[in-house]
Amino acid sequence: MKRGLGLVAIMVFGFSATGLCAQQAAPSANAKSSAKNPIEQMRLTTKSDHARELFGQAIVLSGNYRLDECLKSLRTAVGEDPDFAVGWSLLAYYATDSHEAADALAQAQSLVGKTSPSEMLFVRWVGALKHNDQIGAISNLNDLVKRESGDKLVLYLAGRWFVDQRDQQHAIPLFEKVLALDPEFTPVLNRLGYAHAAMGDMPRAEALMQRYIAAMPADPNPEDSYGDILFKAGRYGEARAHFESALKKDPTFGPSQHELGDVFAMLGNQAGAREAYAKSARVAANPRRGLEYRSSIALSYVRENLYGFADREYGALAEEAKSKKYMDLEAAFHEAMALYQADDLEAMKHLDAAEDALRSDADLAAVTRDEHMAVIRRWRGVRSLHAGNPAMADVCIRVMQQRYESTENEFIGDQLHALRGAWLVEQHKYQEAIPELEQAGDDAFSLDLLARAKRELGDGSSADATLRQLLAIHASTMDSALVVEPARQKSAVSATASTSR
């Protein structure tokens, strides 16, 4: 995802940022595109031409990682026209504050009867997403795309959602259609580059990032995005060069400052990483982002096995998140702490604290709550197995199964398969565990167990292939710190020993 915060990432810095001015700096290219491919935009029901303009600007701003400016544009739009239903809906879609998002969605739904059929589908799509109704979301989105096949903004949002669902194969054709309408539409140059990188097509991904940089040469975000896909490919030196180029363009650009810290961390320089993370928090675009950036300081202590220092950092962050009413963020910090605890009871306390945080926020979107609860139940089940309480693990599995069947949310499905696989490995039922673990996505813990299960069954070559898949993960996350990086170090030691024989 990134779908949701996820258990460990707490870092939402994937698709970087930029201003709208550069997007508007190539009128000749856009004009040519419009002449060849007439762009038919969705009719927006609003009495304010400025609000209509701000709607499109907000999507471009978000697509180039200027979320605060995006939200400001949408707040202005609905302020100028309080009856602007899709403006409220888009605000609900992008808002990080649960109360603002809930209020905006309620406003949009109260006005939906005054809108066009396409706008109605848009509002219903966002509503279904927030309520974790995946079938409803897909149905409304498909109908919207059919009706508005010439609207680059609708096509982009659809492609973006598929990327967030890790469905690159559906996203890529939508993005390519946007570029046929407007070859200089920078949000798609950005996201399409990420999509191809996720598919393993780095030459095409890099070509798109180069186009993105050329389209916005003064902006730091294209450099940051290029650096990010290189980082995920394990090309840390090249990634660092792009992050530093971004910072030369804007020394206060938080994402690149933070990701520079990730490079240091992956290269073993935890002190340098912490310095970069602290600096990124000082220049963060908003208080919530500052907390997210600071969480990487805690993670750096986990890498060094300094768990007391990590507890101190995460604990302070959780208290601060609670005081600012970022309840999902508070939950995420407790989820992270639960992962590295040596004591199962201590881990359970953090999982309980995470659940309490989620349940204390009545406005939290159902999809956010459900995905966090899937993480909590997965690890509650795993810790119960470790503590000799398989009955609790069974309860967790049954509850997750019910929620998955009612929502068809694939993130919940991933967590369910991960827990089932762990349970079967615990029972030495390796043959049954393998298909469950294979369906858990690119989860590092599950890949580690999958390699073990295959090796226990005597399938060494398949186990080695799974290990290579695990080692190909390059991410500064708790999964990486606890599973991938130790496996990479062990593999390097083994390779060195083999060479010296």
Residue 193 lies in a domain: no
Q: 265 or 40: which carries more pLDDT confidence?
A: 265
Mean pLDDT, to the nearest integer, of 138-159?
Answer: 96
Domain count of the fold of the chain? 2
Residue 12 has pLDDT above 80, yes or no: no
Q: What is the pLDDT of residue 273?
A: 98
- Residues 6 or more apart in contact with residue 134 via CB below 8 angstroms: 128, 407, 408, 409, 410
Say how far apart CA 445 and CA 450 lie, in whole Å: 9
pLDDT band with cut points at 50, 70 and 90 for residue 499: low
Residue 311 has pLDDT above 90, yes or no: yes
First-to-last C-alpha distance (Å) of the chain:
44
pLDDT band with cut points at 50, 70 and 90 for residue 104: very high
Sign of CA dihedral 459, 462, 466, 471: positive
Q: Domain of 436: which CATH number?
A: 1.25.40
Residue 462 lies in a domain: yes
Residue 393 has pLDDT above 90, yes or no: yes
Domain span holding position 421: 376-408+416-476
User: DSSP letter at 187?
Assistant: H
Boundary-marking domain end, from 304, 320, 348: 304
Statement to judge: residues 381 and 471 lie in one domain: yes
How many alpha carbons lie under 13 Å from residue 463 in its C-beta half-sphere?
13
User: DSSP letter at 362?
Assistant: T
Exposure of 405 by Cβ count < 10 A (0-12 exposed, 13-18 middle, 19+ buried)? exposed
Say how far apart CA 245 and CA 359 lie, in whole Å: 43
Statement to judge: residues 384 and 472 lie in one domain: yes
Residue 28 has pLDDT above 90, yes or no: no
- Torsions phi, psi for 268 (to 5 deg): 95, 5
The string of pLDDT tens digits covering residues 149-158 is 999 999 999 9
Q: Pick the closest to residue 44 from 35, 53, 32 (CA basis).
A: 53
H helical segments located in 250-389: 254-266, 270-282, 287-303, 307-323, 327-340, 344-359, 366-386
Residue 8 has pLDDT above 70, yes or no: no
Opening angle at CA 98, ends 93 and 100, nearest 5? 70
Say how far apart CA 488 and CA 118 lie, in whole Å: 50
Residue 115 lies in a domain: no
Residue 456 lies in a domain: yes
How many beta carbons lie within 10 A of that of residue 49, not counting itself?
A: 11
Residue 276 has pLDDT above 90, yes or no: yes
Residue 132 lies in a domain: no
Percent of the chain with pLDDT over 70: 91
Tell me which amino acid residue 215 is. Answer: A
Say how far apart CA 347 and CA 344 lie, in whole Å: 5
For residues 290, 292, 293, 298, the Cα torsion angle rounded to the nearest 10 degrees is 120
Answer whether 442's CB lies under 8 Å from 466's CB.
no
- Residues 6 or more apart in contact with residue 186 via CB below 8 angstroms: 18, 22, 23, 60, 63, 64, 212, 215, 216, 222
Residue 262 lies in a domain: yes
Say how far apart CA 420 and CA 237 lie, in whole Å: 39
Mean pLDDT, to the nearest integer, of 142-165?
Answer: 95
Tokens of 87: 């403006």
Q: Please, what is the average pLDDT of the chain?
A: 91
Statement to judge: residues 384 and 467 lie in one domain: yes
Say how far apart CA 369 and CA 373 lie, in whole Å: 6
Tokens of 69: 């400016």
Exposure of 203 by Cβ count < 10 A (0-12 exposed, 13-18 middle, 19+ buried)? exposed
Q: Indicate the pTM of the whole model.
A: 0.90
Residue 500 lies in a domain: no
pLDDT band with cut points at 50, 70 and 90 for residue 21: very low
Q: Domain of 266: which CATH number?
A: 1.25.40.10
- Torsions phi, psi for 58 (to 5 deg): -60, -40
Say how far apart CA 349 and CA 439 lie, in whole Å: 29
- Residues 6 or more apart in contact with residue 21 via CB below 8 angstroms: none
Length of the chain: 501
The string of pLDDT tens digits covering residues 400-439 is 999 999 999 999 999 999 999 999 999 999 999 999 999 9
Q: What is the pLDDT of residue 39?
A: 61
pLDDT band with cut points at 50, 70 and 90 for residue 501: low
The string of pLDDT tens digits covering residues 332-373 is 999 999 999 999 999 999 999 999 999 999 999 999 999 999
Statement to judge: residues 383 and 468 lie in one domain: yes
Say how far apart CA 385 and CA 54 lie, in whole Å: 52
Residue 217 lies in a domain: no
Boundary-marking domain end, from 304, 323, 348: 304
Statement to judge: residues 300 and 383 lie in one domain: no
Say which range, 33-42, 97-106, 248-257, 275-284, has the weakest mean pLDDT. 33-42
Statement to judge: residues 294 and 382 lie in one domain: no
Boundary-marking domain end, from 289, 304, 319: 304
pLDDT band with cut points at 50, 70 and 90 for residue 41: confident
